[in-house]
Structure 1
Amino acid sequence: MKPLIELEIPFKLSFKEVEALIGGAEDIDIDALVEGAEKIARAEDEAIFYGVEEGEIRGLL
């Protein structure tokens, strides 16, 4: 059995912005959310290409 790796990037999004998003607003400030998603994507790429020893993941390179 291989270890499970969980990636987590904390971010803050105000309740006001969430309500605006639910209401269909297009001009909300989601920069923190986008930044967090980009960090997760980079970490996934690193794991895939270079591996993660703690997770017993061999990288492609």
Structure 2
Amino acid sequence: MQIELFYSPGCTQCDGARTQLKAAALQRFPQVQWCECNVLEALDRAVELGVLSLPALAVNG
């Protein structure tokens, strides 16, 4: 399983989500491939997946 978390630097909601979601995902799925994507650096990927707001998760995208 692969999970991509899209975030924006300086976004307080993104920071909180990153910590909580990563911990929950790794606890439930220890073999998960976790990827944190700065939306400014991965804009093409975010558009490809239809990301409209942040933070956003893509599972097996």
| Structure-2-length-normalised TM-score | 0.31
Determine which structure has greater relative contact order: mean sequence separation of CA pairs < 8 Å that are 6+ residues apart, divided by chain length.
2
Q: Give the greater-gyration-radius structure (CA).
A: 1
